Every structure is written in structure tokens, then in C-alpha cells.
Amino acid sequence: MEATELQIWELIVEASLLVQGVMALLVLASIVSWMVIFRKRQMLSRARKRALAFEEVFWSGADLSKLYDKVASDQASREGLEAIFQSGFREFTRLQEEQHLNPETLFNGSQRAMRVTLTREVERLDQHLSFLATVGSVSPYVGLFGTVWGIMNSFRGLAGAQQATIAMVAPGISEALIATAMGLFAAIPAVIAFNKYSSEVEQLEMHYDNFKEEFGSVLHRQARKLQEQR
């Protein structure tokens, strides 16, 4: 095992500068993509937990004004459903202070505010996923480029040889194929993570959108009650 690892390391060291540059680029892309993977995993896990916790409080019959004050006072950790709730209730309260506004106007205004916040929250969850997609789609081709270049150098070295043997080109081909292996090593986790996290973001977006519609219905009923009391 140690001899094999040493041989691979020697092949990397003895590779041409261009192939070494390709390998270094792929290693860097792999490191950064793993950083994004772990960070995105934490972000999405936290978003799911916070959404479930907030919905539990919201549907427990808590007073909306008190809940709004609680959410507004904690600006540092406000995100997801909390941000959507705050924007909708804030706009509803602002429009409610204006006279002679019908329930539809109050409803539409709060819906617009929540829709903008929803879009912003989804963009935040989507952040850096495009990097994983890029690494997953480009890395194999970058590795293949290093491989092709290494093989070209190997066969170019045979130009002045009287008799060509497999032993003469095997090291060059081996070091070139390492670049392809590195490209796959960087691409496969990035593709898997991108597909997984994209699906989770879509589920959270649906969750947020359902809450927006349900909360909008609550505000619409409240607006009708206010109109009847006038």
C-alpha cells in the first residue's frame, strides 16, 4: 500500500507543470466544494428546524401582535418563516392604519410583502449551489484536459526513440490519468450534493409558500372582522 501511494505521489511530482497546475486546480475546487457542502448542510438543517419550531408557535394560538414583537426584537436570528411572517404582518399593520382600505387591499399588500421576502429567503438558501453545479459539470473536463496534455507529452517523447515500448509511455500515461481521477473525485460529491440540496431547497420553498398562503388567509379574515367593526 505504501509503495503504491509513493508511486502515485512520484507520478504527480514528475508530471509536467501544466498537468500539475490542473491537479492543483482540481484539488482546490474539491476542498472549496466540500466546505460549501458542509456549510449548506448546516444551513438547510437549521432552516428546517426553525421553520417547524416557528409553525408550532404560530399555530398554537399565540397572539399575532405579541409574536410580531418577539420576532422583531430578535433581528440577528430572523430568517425563513419568521422573516416572512414579520414582513407580512408589518405591511398589514401599516395598511391597516390607513382609513377606508378594504380587506382585499390589506390582503394583497401583505401578500406582496411576503412574496418579496420569500424570494429573498430562497435566494439565500440557493447561495453557492451554483458553485457545486459548476464543479460537478466542469471538473471532469478539466481533468480530461490534463490527461490529454499528459498523453500528448508522452507520445511526443517517442519521436526520437528508435524502438517504442509500453514501458516508455506508461509513466506518462499514468500521471495523465491521475488528472482524470482527480476530476471525478471533485465532481462526484459536488453533483450528489447539488442534487440533494436543490431538492431540499425546493421543499423549503414549498413550505414557505404554503405558510405564506395560510398566513395570508388569516390576515384576510382579520381584515374582514375589522371592516365589520367599523
Q: Which domain holds residue 16?
A: 2-229
* Tally of domains in the chain: 1
- pLDDT given at position 72: 82
Cα 71 to Cα 82: distance, rounded to the nearest angstrom: 7
Query: What is the reported pTM?
Result: 0.81
Residue 1, helix vs strand vs coil: coil
Which segments of the chain have a pLDDT < 70? 1-15, 75-77, 99-101, 154-172, 226-230
pLDDT of residue 70: 86
Residue 2's pLDDT is 45
Query: Percentage helix, strand, coil, to 5, in the chain?
Result: 85, 0, 15
What are residue 79's phi and psi, to 5 degrees? -160, 170
Amino acid identity at 5: E
pLDDT value of residue 11: 65
- Report the distance separating Cα 174 and Cα 170, nearest Å: 6
